[in-house]
């Protein structure tokens, strides 16, 4: 079956702009989590959605937001981009979240210039 | 604050040898741990997990050991192969929540 699909794979944006990233989970998975990966901070949790509801949020500013649709697809949005937002953004899907196995997509590489 | 950390940032082993990657955690409430492998240009790939009611769990060529007394986790890879070269992350799921806390990662390099 198809894995987790993230689009786009690469993105270049200018400071101050906003960006929307998309994640299609594995069929049947209802939990989608987002992580930011940078060389300095490693993998950091952004938020998790289950059945269109945000169940958990990491320690990121309000510029970072997300949502989940009825088909479990998820989007995350970053407004007023800063240079420090340059990172690999990873999406993971699982059946129910928590202790269930999470499968990651290949990520979206965002570069802010 | 409480965190998950790794003892060594890089590890070089010869092909065919066994590899051991270590991880320390400080959150005593953590009850679920996972090891991920990340190859260049790819997302993390699930390797193996273990719950806090277990001390050891084995998979194909991999074994995870959990020592709750000293809050230590290790991943053993038997007969390491060139395809095992990657960055390995340990992650914890504290308090049965919905977020994973990842360690910084250990880069494993397998030499012929």
Taking only the tens place, the pLDDT of each residue in A57-110 is: 999 999 999 999 999 999 999 999 999 999 999 999 999 887 778 899 999 999
- What's the rounded mean pLDDT across residues B36-44? 94
Chain A contact set for B91 (CB, 8 A): 43
Task: Check A106 against B41: CB less than 8 A apart.
Answer: yes
For residue B6, what pLDDT band results from cuts at 50, 70 and 90? very low
What pLDDT, on the 0 to 100 scale, is given for residue B96?
Answer: 62
- Sign, CA dihedral B3-B9-B15-B18, equals negative
| Nearest CA-CA distance, residue A5 and chain B, Å | 11
Q: Distance between alpha carbon A86 and the CA centroid of its chain, in Å?
A: 13
Q: Say which residues have a Cβ less than 8 Å from residue A22's Cβ, sequence separation at least 6.
A: A6, A7, A73, A74, A75
Share of chain A above pLDDT 70, in %: 99
Q: What is the DSSP letter of B43?
A: -
The pLDDT value recorded for residue A100 is 79
Q: Which residues of A touch B51 (CB under 8 A)?
A: 99
pLDDT band at B4 (very low <50, low <70, confident <90, very high): low
**Closest Cα of chain B to A72: distance in Å?**
16
Asked if residue B59 lies in contact with residue B50, where contact means CB atoms within 8 angstroms, the answer is no
Give per-residue pLDDT as tens, A8-47.
999 999 999 999 999 999 999 999 999 999 988 889 999 9
Q: Which residues of B touch A105 (CB under 8 A)?
A: 43
pLDDT at A41: 83
Measure in Å the smallest separation between the Cα of B102 and chain A Cα atoms: 6
Take residue B9 and report the two structure tokens written for it.
Answer: 């940032």
Of B32, B97, B105, the CB nearest to A42: B105
Q: Residue B8: is its pLDDT beyond 80?
A: no
Distance (Å, whole) CA B88 – CA B81: 14
B interface test, pick of A9, A99, A109 with most B CB neighbours within 10 Å: A99
Average pLDDT of chain B? 89
């Amino acid at each position: 079956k198809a894995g987790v699909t993230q689009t786009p794979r690469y993105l270049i944006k200018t400071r101050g702009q906003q960006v929307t990233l998309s994640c299609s989970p594995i069929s049947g998975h209802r939990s989608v989590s987002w992580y930011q990966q940078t060389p300095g901070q490693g993998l950091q949790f952004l938020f998790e959605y289950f059945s269109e509801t945000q169940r958990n949020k990491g320690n990121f500013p309000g510029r970072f937001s997300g949502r989940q649709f009825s088909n479990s697809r998820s989007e995350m949005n970053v407004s007023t981009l800063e240079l420090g937002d340059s990172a690999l953004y990873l999406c993971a899907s699982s059946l129910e979240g928590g202790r269930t196995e999470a499968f990651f997509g290949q990520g979206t590489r965002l570069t802010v210039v | 604050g409480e965190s998950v950390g790794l003892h060594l940032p890089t590890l070089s082993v010869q092909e065919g040898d066994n590899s051991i990657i270590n991880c320390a955690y400080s959150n005593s409430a953590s009850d679920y741990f996972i090891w991920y492998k990340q190859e260049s240009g790819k997302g993390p790939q699930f390797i193996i997990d273990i719950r806090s009611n277990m001390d050891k769990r084995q998979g194909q060529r991999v074994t995870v050991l959990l020592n709750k007394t000293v809050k230590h986790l290790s991943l053993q890879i038997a007969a390491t192969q060139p395809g095992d070269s990657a960055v390995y992350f340990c992650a914890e799921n504290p308090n049965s929540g919905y977020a994973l806390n990842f360690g910084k990662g250990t880069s494993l390099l397998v030499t012929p």
